Amino acid sequence: MKQFAALYESLDGMTANNARLAAVVDYLRNAPPEDAAWAVYFLAGGKPRQLVPTRLLRELAQELSGLPDWLFDECYHAVGDLAETIALVLPPPTHSVDIPLAQAMTQLLALRLLNPPQQQAELREMWQAMDRWQRLVSIKLITGSLRIGVSRLTVTRALAQIGKLDPKEVAQRLVGYTAGQAAPDASHYLALIAPPDETGAARGGQPYPFFLAHAYAQPLDVMAEQLGPSDHWQVEWKWDGIRAQLVKRAGEAWVWSRGEELVTDRFPELTAAGMYLPDGTVIDGEIVVWLQDRVAPFSILQQRIGRKNLTARILQQAPVVLLAYDLLEWQGQDWRQRPQRERRAQLQEVVAACNSPALSLSPLLIAPDWPAYAELRTQSRALGVEGLMLKAQAAQYGVGRTKDVGTWWKWKVDPYSIDAVLIYAQAGHGRRANLYTDYTFAVWDKPMGAPDRMLVPFAKAYSGLTDEEIRQVDALVRKTTVEKFGPVRSITPSQVFELGFEGIAASTRHKSGVAVRFPRILRWRHDKPLQEANTLADLQELLTPAQPPSSIA
Partner 1 sequence: MNLVIARPEGLYCPAGDFYIDPWRPVERAVITHGHSDHARWGHAHYLAAEPCLGILKARLGHINVQGLPYGQTLEHHGVKLSFHPAGHVLGSAQVRLEVNGEVWVASGDYKTQYDPTCLPFEPVRCDTFITESTFGLPIYRWQDPTELFDQVNAWWRANAAQGRPSVLYCYAFGKAQRILASIDASIGPLIMHGAIEPLNRMYREQGVVLPETRYAGDVEDRTLAKTGLILAPPSASGSTWLRRFPDYAEAFASGWMQVRGNRRRRGIERGFALSDHADWPGLNWAIEQTGAQNVYVTHGATDVLVRYLRDKGLNAQIFKTEYGDEDDTPPASDDAASPAEDAS
For partner 1, which stretch binds (CB under 8 A), given 32-40, 167-175, 418-426, 473-481?
Answer: 418-426
Assess 452 for contact with partner 1 (CB under 8 A): yes
H-assigned helices in 369-440 = 370-377, 380-383
Categorise residue 259: left if φ over 0, alpha if ψ from -120 to 50, beta otherwise. Answer: alpha
Nearer to partner 1, 429 or 511 (CB): 511
Q: How far is the CB of 296 from partner 1 (least distance, A)?
A: 33
Query: What is residue 363's DSSP assignment?
Result: P
**With binding defined as CB under 8 A, does residue 508 bind partner 1?**
no
Report CA 253 to chain centroid distance, whole Å: 23
Tell the smallest beta-carbon distance from residue 112 to partner 1 (Å): 27
Among 12, 279, 404, 532, binds partner 1 (CB under 8 A): 12
Q: According to CB under 8 A, which residues from 135 to 174 bind partner 1? A: none
**What does residue 283 show for φ and ψ, rounded to 5 degrees?**
-115, 135
Among 460, 520, 525, 528, binds partner 1 (CB under 8 A): 460
| Binding-site member from 218, 490, 492, 540 for partner 1 (CB under 8 A) | 490
Among 232, 410, 510, 520, binds partner 1 (CB under 8 A): 510
Out of 288, 519, 522, 535, the residue judged to bind partner 1 by CB under 8 A: 519
Rank residues 14 and 365 by Cβ distance to partner 1 and give the closer one: 14
Site for partner 1 in 92-131 (CB under 8 A): 92
Examine residue 440 and tell whether it contacts partner 1 (CB under 8 A): yes
Dihedral sign for Cα 494, 500, 504, 510, please: negative
Judged by CB under 8 A, the chain residues 342 through 361 that form the site for partner 1 are none
CB of 7 to partner 1, least distance (A): 14
Q: What is the largest CA-CA distance in the chain?
A: 78
Residue among 339, 330, 325, 344 nearest 410 (CA): 325
Please give the Cα distance from 382 to 106 (Å, whole number): 53
Which residue, 449 or 519, has its beta carbon nearer to partner 1?
Answer: 519
Q: Does 65 bind partner 1 (CB under 8 A)?
A: yes
> Could you write out the three-class secondary structure of 28-39?
HHHCCHHHHHHH
Q: Are the C-beta atoms of residues 90 and 127 closer than 8 Å to each other?
A: yes
Stretch that binds partner 1, among 240-248, 327-335, 399-407, 451-459 (CB under 8 A): 451-459
How far apart CA 351 and CA 138 sit, in angstroms, is 48
Residues paired with 436 in a beta bridge:
427
**Separation CA 13–CA 5 (nearest Å):** 13
Residues 235, 296, 322, 455: which binds partner 1 (CB under 8 A)?
A: 455
Query: Any contact of residue 516 with partner 1 (CB under 8 A)?
Result: yes
Told to check if 480 binds partner 1 by CB under 8 A, we report no
Using the rule CB under 8 A, which residue among 189, 424, 436, 524 binds partner 1? 424
Contact at 8 Å (CB) between 125 and 107? no
Report which secondary-structure segment, H or E, holds 328: strand 320-330
Spatial contact of 443 and 530, defined as CB atoms under 8 Å apart = no
Kindly indicate which of the ranges 74-82, 211-219, 233-241, 318-326 contains the residues binding partner 1, using the contact rule CB under 8 A: 74-82
430 near partner 1, rule: CB under 8 A: no
> Applying CB under 8 A, which of residues 69, 196, 265, 485 lies at the interface with partner 1?
485
Quote the least distance from Cβ 423 to partner 1, whole Å. Answer: 8
Q: Which long-range contacts (CB under 8 A, 24 or more apart) does 36-40 make?
A: 36/189, 37/102, 37/184, 37/185, 37/186, 37/188, 37/189, 38/4, 38/101, 38/102, 38/105, 38/184, 39/4, 39/7, 39/101, 40/155, 40/159, 40/174, 40/177, 40/184, 40/189, 40/192
Does 89 bind partner 1 (CB under 8 A)? Our answer is: yes
- Report the sign of the C-alpha dihedral through residues 461, 462, 465, 469, in that order: positive
Measured from the CB atom, is 294 or 517 closer to partner 1? 517
Residues in touch with partner 1 (CB under 8 A): 12-15, 65, 67-68, 70-71, 74-75, 78-81, 84-85, 88-89, 92, 423-424, 426, 440, 442, 451-452, 454-460, 485, 488, 490, 510-512, 515-517, 519
